[in-house]
Structure 1
Amino acid sequence: ILMMRGYGLLCLLVAASYGELTFIEFGCILSMSDGVLFTAHLTMLTYSYSSDTEIKADQTTHVSNYSGMRKTRFIIPGYLEEGDEDWPQEMCKTLLKRESVNCIAVEWKNGVKTQYAKAANNVRVVAVQVAAMITFLMGSYQQSADRFHIIGHCLGAHAAGDVGSRIPGLARITGLDPTEPYFEGTTASVRLDTSDATFVDVIHTDGLPFNSKLGLGMSESVGHIDFYPNGGELMPGCSTNRGDSSDLDAIWEGTKSFDACNHVRAYQYYSESVAKPQGFVGYTCPNKDSFADGKCFPCAEHECPLMGHSADKFDVADGVSKYFLNTGRSNPFGRYSYRVAVTLDGPFWPNLGFMYVALAGKSDSTKEYKLHAGTLIPGRNYELLFDAQVDVGHVTAVKFRWNNHIINPMKPKYGAAKVALQSGRDREISSFCGTGNVKENEVQSVLPCPA
């Protein structure tokens, strides 16, 4: 029993193995004078490298497939979207498909699905429980703190920060849209901050002001790297949050309907980034408006970080850095940014029309993107910055098409004489050369220029 300011905290550990997956239930009950407040459970998933093991009461984690040789990732949820309460377990399964780790999902539904002030206070209790589990694992498996990574969403992000303040030297904490109410603008000791782990990365997806727009997430930069996909306030495919700040308790308890699409996008992006890291390249930029205007493309001289699971592969510079990127409206969310510059060829007289480009690569092809609408003037350069839905890999051809949707007795032909293609993630510029113009709605394949 752990005593903290008059509270009694009783924690029990039970382990079980089922085929190739191992589950560990680490439950804690916080008791007060008026009864039990809530119970939390930590469920561990890890792939087995041995046969099933008989469980004995005195063996605890030693009968499981937990390995001190592997890194351990904790996932702490916050706001619970109805129908998606078990996303931490699903994220663990996603991680296990790509890497050999111990993954522990924290479940504290009764502690978080209550009045917001109580849930915010319960953050400290969850932190004590997770810290106790990490201390237990470090002692039992001779692991150091730098073998642990905590992924926290919403209130769970601040719980992760509190764990880091209790256990110095954690390798990494990932904050997925940390909550604003009671935490935005507070001192570092209250919220997630850079002192809580060696590397702290944060994804902001619902950062509109809470009091006026009911944005649940923080807009404040609190990590070594802070990512603001789509500006960090309103995500594609989501609607503007509706409600009043006085509805917070009802929203948190689930008694009032609330569309948390923007808020939950943070963990959806992270989950996808495990398998498709290159779809989440972050661009350093002073603000979202400059990024939207294309002023921060391509990557700076140093390599761009990847938002999500691979963010820790980036060497953090001194100071707090903000990074921006675009995502799609639905899964798959990842996007691949390019700038294309087309030098048009065609008849000397001007025509009204539309131009489109697409990319073809060894692994896939993109859809068409509108390059220009208006007068087609041969010899002029037309530029477009776009986010492709698929990763085509090495680009083998640029596809050009034009039309004007009217009968033109002159039957003009247009084509891309030259194309300069730049990838946002590696700054490389590739040159393509056209070898003949095409009639309306015919597709011209513009191939790499001869060496």
Structure 2
Amino acid sequence: MINNTGTLLLQTFLYLLNTGPLVNQNISVTLLENSITDPLFENETMKCYGMYGCFSIIEPWKDAVRPVCNFPEHPTKINATYCLHTRYNPNECQYLNFMNHSSIFRSFFTPYHKTYFITHGFLESGDKPWLKAISDNILKSEDVNVILIDWGNGSLPPYTQAVANIRLVGRITALLIYTLKILTRTNTENVHLIGHSLGAHLSGYVGYTLKHDFNCSVGRITGMDPAQPHFSRTDPVVRLDISDAKFVDIIHTNAKPFINGGFGIEEPIGHLDFYPNNGDNQPGCNDGMMRYVKNENQSVYQGLRRFFSCDHIRSHEFFLESITPNSCAFPSVQCDSWENFIEGRCFPCKSEQNSNGFFCGNMGLHAINEWGNFDDTRKKGGSSTKLYTITNNNIPFCLSLYKITLIISNSSASIEHKGEIGLFSIKIVGTKDQTSMTKVSTERYFPPASKYERVIGGKDVGKIISATLHWEHPTTMMNIMTWRLDSKIHIGSIIIETFQDHQRLHLCPLYDEVLGSGVSRNMKPCKI
């Protein structure tokens, strides 16, 4: 352990490292203790908070995409706190302070355990239930250290001030991690930072500071829908990026233009960037505002806030669900676009049997497990990989992925009928469960002998046994001019393929290939 003299030497070292030539290098310990949080230097473009370092508001911090740039507020005003939970104190908070080393020595912090830092975003604080829920679930799964970062006093409006404040909180967090390294020999590569919205970029600042000021690296950063305003299309030093940790994974759930209600960043900024449901409109988030008001005990304000932020907070809801061991792991597929993914063009997954397949991974806590399958060239190449998946509209959100291939009959009767306009739905039946009836297609024209491919999400059914196919020929503007009383479609067969366990089942109609509007037909394995 380090004695009091060692403590002061460490503080002096950290202080000199961060203030550089702006401060007299012969500064005394007394002056250090009295000026840790007072600005030692300030002009129109820079402000310094003692050992916390200096903060510039010129490029790249201020440019065309972020015309307003503030200094971070005083550290005592932000008053960031660090609440430690372990399996010894899952419900009791132990506050850690890098300048009060006894807070570390007297805590249940275990140096050789993995350490998670979890932090909130704008207009939130450390007492949000989702933070504690993630902490509890992680501790149930692993014997680790979990530290909740509360910078609620700095997350208040205006947004531009909160954007500035996370720079300071990132520095303070980096100082805490480096102090843990010096005092307890904690391996910083065993640190996993998890941040939502502004908290994602805050985590990036932690990784950047440790790398550039202390020559050590964070093992992993997970960005849960990193904030878009003032970060999109900026210099990498301004936002979270792949250089901030050994592994950076991003969950995009509200990635659309801010003018259209998007809070999350759209461009890929990690090693693996996950885009569930194309990363923007999440299923279940457009079910009506009154449902959210009811769920918030009839509070109109909280209901509105929940309604408008539904897509944005889905990211930490997905991450929370991913923690449970042996649960559905949010299977995701590498693809260059959502359209190509949903149309089945990014299939099958790469495997030992198929080296030319697409990379398939899991979104959430276990995303890093598949990162080991990447070759060293890609890991070191500094490029992002985009992955897509489909989720449910409520808990549980995770779904298995199935590729459906519909083959319209090429029989003489089908050719004579000349195809039909309508849509298909399917229910997949397996040894463990069955999916709900799920739309496979939008309303469109299906000509004879044609093939239509689509990826859908559904429950994990186990080994696939059969399926039920449903055909609908609605009276709409699309087909009103071609409406006929004997509306029907001639089914040739369907092929169902899974992404996770490489199943492939070819199914045919049991008796008749003709399917009338509003009729369902059981499909069984085709006879060879």
- Answer yes or no: same fold by TM over 0.5: yes
Contact in 2 for aligned 1:341/1:420 (Cα 8 Å): yes
Residue in 1 that maps onto 2:116: 73
Q: CA deviation at 1:176?
A: 1.1
Q: CA deviation at 1:429?
A: 2.2
Specify which of 299, 311, 316 is matched with residue 349 of structure 2.
299
Counterparts in 2 of 1:116 and 1:357: CA distance versus 1, 3 Å: closer
Identity of aligned residues (%): 28
Contact in 1 for aligned 2:342/2:454 (Cα 8 Å): no
For 2:505, give the aligned amino acid: S
* CA RMSD after TM alignment: 4.3
Residue in 1 that maps onto 2:66: none
Task: Kindly provide the CA deviation profile for residues 232-266 of structure 1, in whole angstroms up to 9, marking residues without a partner as x.
Answer: 233222359x9xxxxxxxxxxx9996421121111
Superposition pairs of residues 235-314 of structure 1, within 5 angstroms = 235-239=282-286, 258=305, 259-275=308-324, 278-299=328-349, 301-314=357-370
Higher helix share: 2
Is residue 165 of structure 2 the alignment partner of residue 122 of structure 1? Answer: yes
Give the Cα separation in 1 of the matches to 2:473 and 2:302: 54
Residue in 2 that maps onto 1:18: none
Give the Cα separation in 1 of the matches to 2:526 and 2:467: 9
Residue in 1 that maps onto 2:277: 230
Residue in 2 that maps onto 1:21: none
Contact in 2 for aligned 1:151/1:160 (Cα 8 Å): yes
Residue in 1 that maps onto 2:240: 192
Give the Cα separation in 1 of the matches to 2:274 and 2:150: 26
Give the Cα separation in 2 of the matches to 1:347 and 1:185: 54
Task: Kindly provide the CA deviation profile for residues 34-69 of structure 1, in whole angstroms up to 9, marking residues without a partner as x.
Answer: x9422222222221399x9x99x9853444433223
Q: CA deviation at 1:202?
A: 1.1
Listed as ranges, the gaps of 5+ residues in structure 2 are 1-32, 41-48, 53-71, 212-216, 290-300, 351-356, 475-487
Contact in 2 for aligned 1:299/1:426 (Cα 8 Å): no
Residue in 2 that maps onto 1:213: 260
Task: Kindly provide the CA deviation profile for residues 100-154 of structure 1, in whole angstroms up to 9, marking residues without a partner as x.
Answer: 2211111111111231121111102211222122123223332211110101111
Residue in 2 that maps onto 1:39: 79
Structure whose alpha-carbon radius of gyration is higher = 2
Q: How many residues in Structure 1 have an aligned counterpart in Structure 2?
A: 406
Give the Cα separation in 2 of the matches to 1:369 and 1:185: 38
**Aligned with 2:265: secondary structure?**
coil
Is residue 497 of structure 2 the alignment partner of residue 422 of structure 1? Answer: yes
Task: Kindly provide the CA deviation profile for residues 328-352 of structure 1, in whole angstroms up to 9, marking residues without a partner as x.
Answer: 2222222222123356789985688
Counterparts in 2 of 1:423 and 1:449: CA distance versus 1, 3 Å: farther
Residue in 2 that maps onto 1:201: 249
**Aligned with 2:135: secondary structure?**
helix
TM-score w.r.t. length of structure 2? 0.65
Residue in 2 that maps onto 1:322: 386
Counterparts in 2 of 1:59 and 1:37: CA distance versus 1, 3 Å: closer
**Aligned with 1:130: secondary structure?**
helix
Is residue 366 of structure 2 the alignment partner of residue 366 of structure 1? Answer: no
Is residue 524 of structure 2 the alignment partner of residue 446 of structure 1? Answer: yes
Task: Kindly provide the CA deviation profile for residues 202-240 of structure 1, in whole angstroms up to 9, marking residues without a partner as x.
Answer: 122222222x32422211221112222222233222359
For 2:83, give the aligned amino acid: T
TM-score w.r.t. length of structure 1? 0.75
Residue in 1 that maps onto 2:222: 174
Contact in 2 for aligned 1:437/1:444 (Cα 8 Å): no
Higher strand share: 1
Task: Kindly provide the CA deviation profile for residues 384-433 of structure 1, in whole angstroms up to 9, marking residues without a partner as x.
Answer: 5242331223323334567999xxxxxxx999885432113455423456
Give the Cα separation in 1 of the matches to 2:434 and 2:339: 30
Give the Cα separation in 2 of the matches to 1:299 and 1:31: 49
Contact in 1 for aligned 2:347/2:358 (Cα 8 Å): no
Q: CA deviation at 1:271?
A: 1.3
Listed as ranges, the gaps of 5+ residues in structure 1 are 11-29, 243-253, 406-412
